[in-house]
Amino acid sequence: MSTNTVTIKGEEWPVKLSFSAMKRSLPLFGLRFVTDFEKMLSMLSHDGESEGEGTPAEAVVPFIHNVILAGLSFTCDDREAPGEAAVEYALDEDMGFYVTVIQALSPQQEEPAGKASTAGKKKPRTTKP
Protein backbone atom coordinates (compact mmCIF):
# COMPACT_ATOMS: atom_id res chain seq x y z
CA MET A 1 0.00 0.00 0.00
CA SER A 2 1.43 3.35 -0.94
CA THR A 3 0.91 6.87 0.22
CA ASN A 4 0.44 9.99 -1.81
CA THR A 5 2.15 13.28 -1.20
CA VAL A 6 1.32 16.97 -1.01
CA THR A 7 3.68 19.91 -1.34
CA ILE A 8 4.13 22.52 1.39
CA LYS A 9 6.68 25.28 0.81
CA GLY A 10 8.30 23.28 -1.97
CA GLU A 11 8.75 20.13 0.10
CA GLU A 12 6.88 16.85 -0.48
CA TRP A 13 5.02 15.38 2.49
CA PRO A 14 3.32 11.96 2.60
CA VAL A 15 -0.34 11.85 3.62
CA LYS A 16 -2.32 8.88 4.90
CA LEU A 17 -5.67 8.46 6.61
CA SER A 18 -4.69 5.87 9.20
CA PHE A 19 -6.44 4.79 12.37
CA SER A 20 -4.35 7.15 14.50
CA ALA A 21 -5.10 10.11 12.19
CA MET A 22 -8.78 9.21 12.26
CA LYS A 23 -8.80 8.91 16.06
CA ARG A 24 -7.13 12.33 16.46
CA SER A 25 -9.43 13.92 13.88
CA LEU A 26 -12.85 12.68 15.01
CA PRO A 27 -13.18 15.33 17.79
CA LEU A 28 -12.35 18.06 15.25
CA PHE A 29 -15.56 17.14 13.42
CA GLY A 30 -17.62 16.99 16.61
CA LEU A 31 -17.64 13.19 16.56
CA ARG A 32 -16.73 10.82 19.37
CA PHE A 33 -16.87 7.24 18.22
CA VAL A 34 -14.97 5.20 15.65
CA THR A 35 -18.35 4.17 14.26
CA ASP A 36 -18.79 7.82 13.20
CA PHE A 37 -15.92 7.45 10.72
CA GLU A 38 -18.33 7.20 7.77
CA LYS A 39 -19.92 10.48 8.86
CA MET A 40 -16.46 12.10 8.99
CA LEU A 41 -15.72 10.89 5.45
CA SER A 42 -19.06 12.28 4.34
CA MET A 43 -18.20 15.64 5.90
CA LEU A 44 -14.79 15.64 4.18
CA SER A 45 -16.27 14.99 0.76
CA HIS A 46 -19.27 17.31 1.15
CA ASP A 47 -19.72 19.23 -2.08
CA GLY A 48 -22.01 21.93 -0.71
CA GLU A 49 -24.85 21.05 -3.08
CA SER A 50 -26.58 18.38 -1.04
CA GLU A 51 -27.95 18.56 2.46
CA GLY A 52 -25.65 17.78 5.32
CA GLU A 53 -22.64 19.18 7.04
CA GLY A 54 -19.31 19.96 5.48
CA THR A 55 -15.93 20.16 7.16
CA PRO A 56 -15.82 22.70 10.00
CA ALA A 57 -13.36 25.49 9.11
CA GLU A 58 -11.45 25.12 12.38
CA ALA A 59 -10.90 21.40 11.64
CA VAL A 60 -9.16 21.82 8.27
CA VAL A 61 -5.63 22.72 9.44
CA PRO A 62 -5.41 20.16 12.31
CA PHE A 63 -6.87 17.45 10.05
CA ILE A 64 -4.24 18.06 7.36
CA HIS A 65 -1.54 18.08 10.05
CA ASN A 66 -2.85 14.74 11.38
CA VAL A 67 -2.78 13.01 7.99
CA ILE A 68 0.76 14.28 7.35
CA LEU A 69 1.85 12.88 10.74
CA ALA A 70 0.26 9.55 9.81
CA GLY A 71 1.96 9.60 6.40
CA LEU A 72 5.36 10.24 7.98
CA SER A 73 4.82 7.42 10.45
CA PHE A 74 3.64 5.01 7.72
CA THR A 75 6.64 5.73 5.49
CA CYS A 76 9.07 5.64 8.46
CA ASP A 77 10.16 9.18 7.58
CA ASP A 78 12.18 10.72 10.42
CA ARG A 79 11.47 14.33 9.45
CA GLU A 80 9.49 16.52 11.78
CA ALA A 81 6.05 17.28 10.34
CA PRO A 82 5.38 20.84 9.22
CA GLY A 83 3.63 22.81 11.91
CA GLU A 84 0.04 23.95 11.70
CA ALA A 85 1.32 27.42 10.77
CA ALA A 86 3.00 25.97 7.66
CA VAL A 87 -0.21 24.12 6.75
CA GLU A 88 -2.22 27.30 7.18
CA TYR A 89 0.31 29.15 5.01
CA ALA A 90 -0.14 26.52 2.28
CA LEU A 91 -3.91 27.02 2.46
CA ASP A 92 -3.48 30.81 2.28
CA GLU A 93 -1.27 30.46 -0.78
CA ASP A 94 -3.55 28.01 -2.58
CA MET A 95 -7.21 27.61 -1.60
CA GLY A 96 -7.27 24.38 -3.64
CA PHE A 97 -4.71 22.83 -1.28
CA TYR A 98 -7.48 21.31 0.85
CA VAL A 99 -8.93 19.60 -2.23
CA THR A 100 -5.43 18.41 -3.18
CA VAL A 101 -5.07 16.76 0.24
CA ILE A 102 -8.49 15.08 0.00
CA GLN A 103 -7.65 13.79 -3.49
CA ALA A 104 -4.31 12.47 -2.22
CA LEU A 105 -6.17 10.56 0.50
CA SER A 106 -8.68 9.07 -1.95
CA PRO A 107 -8.04 5.48 -2.95
CA GLN A 108 -6.52 5.12 -6.39
CA GLN A 109 -8.41 3.03 -8.92
CA GLU A 110 -5.37 1.28 -10.37
CA GLU A 111 -5.26 -2.22 -11.73
CA PRO A 112 -2.45 -4.27 -10.20
CA ALA A 113 0.52 -4.83 -12.49
CA GLY A 114 0.63 -8.23 -14.11
CA LYS A 115 -3.12 -8.79 -13.93
CA ALA A 116 -4.68 -8.38 -17.32
CA SER A 117 -8.38 -7.81 -17.65
CA THR A 118 -10.19 -11.07 -18.31
CA ALA A 119 -13.57 -9.57 -19.12
CA GLY A 120 -15.32 -11.57 -21.82
CA LYS A 121 -12.88 -14.49 -21.70
CA LYS A 122 -14.89 -17.22 -20.05
CA LYS A 123 -14.07 -20.88 -20.16
CA PRO A 124 -16.33 -22.62 -22.69
CA ARG A 125 -19.00 -24.88 -21.26
CA THR A 126 -18.56 -28.59 -21.62
CA THR A 127 -21.35 -31.10 -21.58
CA LYS A 128 -21.36 -33.89 -19.09
CA PRO A 129 -21.54 -37.44 -20.50
For 41-68, the pLDDT digits (tens) are 888 776 555 455 777 788 889 999 999 9
When comparing pLDDT for 65 and 38, which is higher? 65
- pTM given for the model: 0.73
61 class by beta-carbon count within 10 Å (0-12 exposed, 13-18 middle, 19+ buried)? buried
Residue 102 phi/psi, 5-degree rounding, is: -60, -40
- pLDDT for the residue 46: 65
| pLDDT mean over 59-85 | 91
β-partners of residue 12 are 7
- pLDDT for the residue 98: 86
- Sign of the alpha-carbon dihedral angle for 109, 1, 77, 36: positive
Residue 1 banded pLDDT, cuts 50, 70, 90? very low
pLDDT digits (tens, 9 = 90+) for 103-127: 888 876 554 555 555 555 666 677 7
